Structure 1
Amino acid sequence: MPKRHPLDVVIIGAGVVGAACAYYAARAGLRTAVVDRGPVAGGTTGAGEGNLLVSDKEAGPELDLALLSAALWRQLAAELPQEVEYEPKGGLVVAPDEATLKALRDFAASQRAAGVEAREADPAALRDLEPHLAPGAAGGFHYPQDAQVQPAQAAARMLAASGAELHLGEEVTAVLRTADGRVRGVRTPRGDLAAPAVVNAAGTWGGRIAELAGTTLPVLPRRGFVLVTEPLPRLVRHKVYAADYIADVASGSAALQSSAVVEGTPAGPVLIGATRERVGFDRSLSVEALRRLGAQAAALFPVLADVRVLRTYHGFRPYLPDHLPAIGPDPRVPGLLHACGHEGAGIGLAPATGVLIASSLTDTPPPVPLAPFDPNRFPPSPSGV
């Protein structure tokens, strides 16, 4: 089997996280290749809405990562061509009653202490921000730092800017290791890619790549649906969602959960998410999930009740049990690094993840602590691997 020329790192996964790892590794001067069994953004990234959120994250490691990423996305929007469609639209979280508003107030206070901009909005201010919002809400919070990108295009632009070798349509069949267990590259049906470091950015398939490397990572797929309406005037100005969406994000339930997230797009269609359920890789259509989304969106914006839905799409979020991604070196397999398990926040957290991976590869201090994202933080599997 032919060998290809040496590299510093091979990144498995051509989604937005793998693209960000390639972009920042290249900026650190590393020779990089990206390999994926499909096309660029062919998995979770291509099924994402492009959310760049700080509003849904409680104070802690993930919020720190999100704030770092928010700053990096602004830089990327200036550095990369306009095709990424970066839109700093801001987010609006709506509370239906006083009890929920009080909980949001406490949540926002802890976020502000970490550096988030969160502005309380009374019912009149809500209608100023979103004129078509349903009346009757107790209030809400406006988050100016929330933003949006076109995720597939963002991944493609970062990969192009990185100059990385692209090996698309090549499935990794083995993670190669030396006699003492250190990573030495990957194998695909078209040959070996030799490198002293391999980054697992395979999204929902991150657990499978970990197994190929002789270790474990408990990544599971969490299915989600999105509705896409006919093109409309800009009826929805921000990313708007009901407060119960925050609880759904933090939940570990395998059952179907849905909470409307509604946003307009520059092209006109309104995007309506979001559902969550753990059903393996079942790609069948869930009429119940779509019905819930439509009803919840119309409850937030009655003007959408009679709007046509042109299509739906769905994908699988890479879920880890504690809702934090695995980022950084795997101490069980020298030379293996992980950058997966971001669940529904991968697009938003991608640049910070890429910076942390580049820091690990170059042995330089990371901008935020890596310890909370340690890939080795989960209990051993029953097999003892």
Structure 2
Amino acid sequence: MAEPGSDVVVVGAGIIGAACAFFGARAGLSITVLDRGSVGGGTTSRCEGNILVSDKGPGPELDLALASRSLWLDLAAEHGAERYELEEKGGLVVATSEAGLSSLRSFAAGQGTGGVIAEPVASERLRDHEPNLAAGLPGGAFYPQDMQVQPVLAAASLLAAARDLGARVVTGEEVTGALRGADGRITAVRTARTTYPTAAVVNAAGTWGAVVGERLGGTVPVLPRRGFILVTEPLPRVVRHKVYSADYVDNVASGDAGLETSAVVEGTRGGTVLIGASRERVGFDETLSVEVLRRLAAQAVRLFPFLAQVRLMRSYRGFRPYCPDHLPVIGSDRRVPGLLHACGHEGAGIGLAPATGRLVADLLTGAPPQLDPAAFDPMRFVLEDA
């Protein structure tokens, strides 16, 4: 027996699915969210919760990031910052060589044309921002627009706000396929247990977006990119901002399948310090790599020498939803009427979620989109392959 119908089924209860559900419900659509696991149990639970503009050059992703940052602030004002643990903490990008400092300055200058505020920091002023940094670093840039949320809490809060607007959230329900009418349009999604009648489906399955897209008739080239994070014992607030080495930006933009690491260090409200970041494409292999952990720890100690005396509590790992051109897939799949995608945000999904959700809501309702969706069109890959 089929479940009650809704205007839209959102597949995925992570941060992107939660944002799509909230903005869709706020636009007046009836929404059902389905997830095979728990709320925020996938990639959303395996990340730091960054809302960054510092790592993005001028272009459509930066436009999406700036729009999303503004929406995060609106959500915090509407619901209360504590509901998301939103911190306007700022980011400090540190060069570890003179060549790196020159590249950072050039990158920051270009970002200014896109609306990013980047304040140069001389070597002798770095410790004004972070007193525990290593001595002798050549300089850096401070990004006051960078922020952070607690990712699982943020996803759960957005879904709670969507429920308040009438949305329904069903966990432990894996989507296995779609039913389509004579014209090819989706009329329902199937699960192992039942069907959910709907006029539209949003594939917000994150790293598993390619799998879900294929089941719904429109696959997209989203691949898993594994990353590890170390977590220290609770400490006083010894790291004030998100701090990372300048080579992190190059690693984010790289398409290399091999292992890449760069120092990323930040504190949390609970007192732990999070240490990353690594990237490698190894499929969905969850094997613990001691070599990656060792490399991350060594890089962090070079930035913050005091960490050498700090105990690690644990490490965790997850998969970023990687797209070959480093842009998310957001929009209608013209191969399957009624199917939209909202996935492939790689490591930026937390930051980009609100603007993604609002853009999807605009596309679903026919409202003029507040951002040009052309760069994120799912069909760009289909056209390239044709």
Q: Tell me whether the two structures share a fold, i.e. TM-score over 0.5.
A: yes
Cα separation, 1, equivalents of 2:4 and 2:300: 52
1:111 aligns with 2:111: yes
Contact 2:91 2:243 in 1 (8 A): yes
Cα separation, 2, equivalents of 1:274 and 1:29: 40
CA shift, 1:176, in A, is 1.9
Cα separation, 2, equivalents of 1:213 and 1:300: 46
The amino acid that maps onto 1:352 is A
Q: Which 10-residue stretch deviates more, 169-178 or 243-252?
A: 169-178
CA shift, 1:215, in A, is 2.1
Cα separation, 2, equivalents of 1:30 and 1:369: 22
Q: Specify the SS of the correspondent of 1:299.
A: helix
Q: Specify the SS of the correspondent of 2:379.
A: coil
Q: Match of 1:273? A: 276
1:313 aligns with 2:312: no
Cα separation, 2, equivalents of 1:93 and 1:284: 30
Q: Match of 1:264? A: 267
Task: Note the alpha carbon deviations across 1:19-73, whole angstroms, 9 max, x for none.
Answer: 0000000110100000000000110001111010000011101000000011111
Cα separation, 2, equivalents of 1:261 and 1:98: 19
Residues 204-243 of structure 1 mapped to structure 2, 5 A cutoff: 204-243=207-246
Q: Aligned residue pairs: how many? A: 382
- Structure 2 unaligned regions, length at least 5: none
Contact 2:50 2:148 in 1 (8 A): yes
1:51 aligns with 2:50: yes
Cα separation, 2, equivalents of 1:31 and 1:190: 21
Contact 1:216 1:381 in 2 (8 A): no
CA shift, 1:223, in A, is 0.4
1:71 aligns with 2:70: yes
CA shift, 1:6, in A, is 2.1
CA shift, 1:79, in A, is 2.1
Supply the RMSD in Å over aligned alpha carbons. Answer: 1.2
Q: Specify the SS of the correspondent of 2:156.
A: helix
1:122 aligns with 2:122: yes
Q: Which 10-residue stretch deviates more, 99-108 or 37-46?
A: 99-108
The amino acid that maps onto 1:177 is R
Residues 114-263 of structure 1 mapped to structure 2, 5 A cutoff: 114-163=114-163, 164-263=167-266
Q: Specify the SS of the correspondent of 2:319.
A: strand
Q: Match of 1:15? A: 14
The amino acid that maps onto 1:314 is R
CA shift, 1:213, in A, is 1.8
Q: Match of 1:352? A: 355
Residue 327 of structure 1, aligned match among 326, 330, 338: 330
Cα separation, 1, equivalents of 2:310 and 2:116: 34
- Give me the TM-score of the superposition, normalised by structure 2: 0.97
Task: Note the alpha carbon deviations across 1:288-340, whole angstroms, 9 max, x for none.
Answer: 11001000000000010111000000100000100000001111111100000
- Give me the TM-score of the superposition, normalised by structure 1: 0.97
Identity among equivalent pairs (%): 63
Indicate how the Cα distance of structure 1 residues 112 and 15 shifts in structure 2: closer, same or farther if over 3 A, else same.
same
Cα separation, 1, equivalents of 2:263 and 2:207: 24
Cα separation, 1, equivalents of 2:288 and 2:302: 23
1:303 aligns with 2:287: no
